[in-house]
Structure 1
Amino acid sequence: MILVRYGEIAVKRGRRREFERKLMENILATLRRKGIEAKAELIRGRILVDAPDEAAKIIAKVPGVVSVSPAREMSYEEVPNYLREALKGLNPKSFKVETQRLDKTFLKTSVDVNREIGAFIVREFGWKVDLENPELTIGIEIIKKKAYVFFEKIKGVGGLPVSTQGKVVALLSGGIDSPVAAFLMMKRGAEIIAVHFDQGKNARKVVEKTVEILNDYSPRDIELIVENHFEVLKPYVVALNRLNMREWTCVVCKIAMLRRAAEIAKEKGALGIVTGDSLGQVASQTLANLYFETMSVRFPIHRPLLGMDKEEIVKIAREIGTYQAFLEYPYCDCPFRPERVVTQGRAEEFQRILEELEKMDSSNL
């Protein structure tokens, strides 16, 4: 039995039941994708999943889950006998009993249970009690007149269940940042469609591996759409050459990708685009250039990493497993990058480019 805890969902007035059902569906769907058939039951702010213990680490990656514990279900009266056998052979320096009584009709309080079971452990094994920093914590949750006993609490990713907030198109470049941005949107309940602009180098391999990793956090396989970067960008480069403004290539390249992503989003019924932009990190991510890019697209752009520094982003990438995918393949510089790039573009220059792009759009109608 796996005991699943969730947090933020419980305070969603009006949609709590919907979110709880979706989380339960996502857990079961995720387990099925791993070849595990399971049953789940929603009881008093917990989801009880009838599955083998190894399913706990899989469930912990489901957005919306705060923590999970492989547990054993029994009556309260059976707890001492169970612990006598389960703890045999262990010799921790210290322990504590931590009880949560979700069933308020149960006559004993959490403190009563802690004292009773703690006293039994001391009599049976002679272990020292340490309430602050114990080597072993014996967890007990009282739910529907049953006791659920566990010794491990695995941290989940938290957030909201995937697909409760609609769909978004996530740009995946093959770098460190964009997978983290996609993950954070999944964590907030968005279903992602991955889009990669392929330059024919290692970046595509990184993206394919990244999508495999992100699939661990999704109840269903993430769709990956690969676009030919050269074909998408070529007319924009031609327009810049006509204006003799090649230093704007990085900004216009970003605009080209965002515009194509917006088209895909509309086709797929997605409500926005997700990018891995971090303010000031590269030429196309200065505040001025982000402004120009946003104004050129006329479609919602979500930038969950905007206020993060590189260390914060790398930390999350390591935690979710996408950083290793980046290290497997050397990252190649963009072949379109000019010798000099605009970092603080001027509005009047950008207006000239915008007018040229509008001519290009009109000629394609």
Structure 2
Amino acid sequence: MTTSALGEPCVLLKLGEIVLKGKNREVFERRLIGNIRNALKELDLQVDVRQRHGVVAIFLPEGATVEQADTVAQRVADVPGLVWIHRAWRVPKDVDSVVKAGIEIVRDREEVARKATFAVRSRRRDKRFPLRSNELDRLVGGEINDLFGLPVSLKNPELTVHIEVDRDEVFVFTDGIPGQGGLPVGTSGRALVLMSGGIDSPVAAYRMMKRGLHVDFLHFSGIPFTTSESIYKAYALVRKLDRFQGRSRLWVVPFGKAQQSIRSSGQDRLAVMAQRRLMLKTAEEVAHRIRAEALVTGDALGQVASQTLQNITAQDNAVDMPILRPLVGWDKTEIMAEARRIGTLEISELPDEDCCSLLAPKRAETRAKIEDLKQIEKRLDAEELIVQLADSIQEYKL
């Protein structure tokens, strides 16, 4: 491509759900801009992030390469709140420059060699520009058609040239990267995710990030009766998820002795449910300490014995804090597909000895009664045990 005709490489970001926020929109946009800037800090590249009406433009330093623009685009594609990321060209705001850029952006495309159909889609955010959107479409499209002989298809083009006339410049681009969508992380508060080394909880954490929650992570380890493998997995999963929000924190509870106490209570069929309630109670105590407002789990209705409707109700009874279950209506195939898409599946499938392996009854209770569970907790002196467990947590910094 002739970069002189195309101008300067930049990145154009399209907002999604935020534009529907009415009078609160400014709050969401400010948080999104902050999240974008934080995500780009790791690239060690001085960029200029500017908010425009309905879009965000990222301008690179003078002399920046197309490869650097691609790197910026790939990084911000992980930031929730954006629906499309376009590696665009910033051209001067005059008709002649726009026409030349439209021609050059398709010149080396493979669609030209196979005479693919095309269309030009213009959007004129600055109404002072001398040509209307449809006039600009016809002008640039006509030049491309004359030079390269590409047939026009307005309904289903194989190649689309986008032209957006902004306040100070014009953006020209073709393809885009789908964004994460959702809301900017931090706009919905803070929550604590009960993080196992399995497939479900990382996906649940990601889904809550997309709804604007900033999440911290709490992992229950079977130490001293298991190895540290599950901690390594939890750490690796949190690192993988951190690209969506930044500043993630992982807390680990040594839970093995508490499980030993549950096992010695003699209630084999209720052991898993007693453990789940104790985990939730401990998580609630930790959440209060770190000022989180809700708990998040990877429960999916009916997936395992502890996730029947009656057992979920018994777990909700254990705490006063809201328990969010974003995967409650998903099946395992859907969860695995999402885990594969966000890059956590391969880590989750690594072998490890997690704390759940210490309590594996031959037949788990599917319709646990709350009063029976409360009796177990009374024998365990659960309230004191919860404080001890919360006091024993250790933070693993990324």
Q: Which whole-Å CA distance do the structure 1 matches of 2:204 and 2:323 have between them? A: 12
Cα distance 1:91–1:168, how it changes in 2: closer, same or farther (>3 A)?
A: closer
Give the structure 1 partner of residue 100 of structure 2.
Answer: 81
Q: Which whole-Å CA distance do the structure 2 matches of 1:113 and 1:325 have between them? A: 50
TM-score, normalised via structure 2 length: 0.84
1:20 partnered with 2:20 = no
Q: Which whole-Å CA distance do the structure 1 matches of 2:203 and 2:382 have between them? A: 34
Give the structure 1 partner of residue 7 of structure 2.
Answer: none
Cα distance 1:302–1:70, how it changes in 2: closer, same or farther (>3 A)?
A: same
Following TM superposition, by how much is the alpha carbon of 1:282 offset from its aligned partner in structure 2, in angstroms?
0.9
Cα distance 1:89–1:364, how it changes in 2: closer, same or farther (>3 A)?
A: closer
Give the structure 2 partner of residue 118 of structure 1.
Answer: 141
Task: Kindly report which structure 2 residues correspond to 1:165-314, keeping only aligned pairs within 5 A, or say none.
Answer: 165-199=188-222, 200=227, 202-218=229-245, 220-238=246-264, 241=265, 244-314=266-336
Following TM superposition, by how much is the alpha carbon of 1:62 offset from its aligned partner in structure 2, in angstroms?
0.2
Q: Give a deviation string over 1:225-280, Cα, whole Å, max 9, x none.
A: 11112134344444xx2xx3121111111111111111110000000110000001
Task: Kindly report which structure 2 residues correspond to 1:47-196, keeping only aligned pairs within 5 A, or say none.
Answer: 47-51=56-60, 52-53=68-69, 54-74=71-91, 75-77=93-95, 78-92=97-111, 93-144=116-167, 146-196=169-219
1:356 partnered with 2:373 = no
Cα distance 1:109–1:270, how it changes in 2: closer, same or farther (>3 A)?
A: same
Give the structure 1 partner of residue 63 of structure 2.
Answer: none
Q: Which whole-Å CA distance do the structure 2 matches of 1:41 and 1:363 have between them? A: 51
**Alpha-carbon RMSD:** 2.1
Q: Which whole-Å CA distance do the structure 1 matches of 2:386 and 2:351 have between them? A: 37
Which amino acid letter does the alignment assign opposite residue 159 of structure 1?
G
Q: Which whole-Å CA distance do the structure 1 matches of 2:110 and 2:214 have between them? A: 46
- The 10-residue stretch of structure 1 (106-115 or 289-298) with the greater mean CA deviation from structure 2: 106-115
Q: Which whole-Å CA distance do the structure 2 matches of 1:287 and 1:9 have between them? A: 34
The question of whether the paired residues in 2 share the 8 Å contact of 1:2 and 1:49 is answered with yes
Q: Which whole-Å CA distance do the structure 1 matches of 2:207 and 2:108 have between them? A: 42
Give the structure 2 partner of residue 45 of structure 1.
Answer: 54
Structure 1 unmatched ranges of 5 or more: none
The question of whether the paired residues in 2 share the 8 Å contact of 1:215 and 1:221 is answered with yes
Cα distance 1:329–1:355, how it changes in 2: closer, same or farther (>3 A)?
A: closer
Q: Give a deviation string over 1:147-195, Cα, whole Å, max 9, x none.
A: 2001111110011111111110011101110001000111111111111
Structure 2 unmatched ranges of 5 or more: 1-9, 61-67, 388-398
Q: Which whole-Å CA distance do the structure 2 matches of 1:68 and 1:44 have between them? A: 16
Cα distance 1:257–1:113, how it changes in 2: closer, same or farther (>3 A)?
A: same
Cα distance 1:212–1:362, how it changes in 2: closer, same or farther (>3 A)?
A: closer
TM-score, normalised via structure 1 length: 0.92
Give the structure 2 partner of residue 10 of structure 1.
Answer: 19
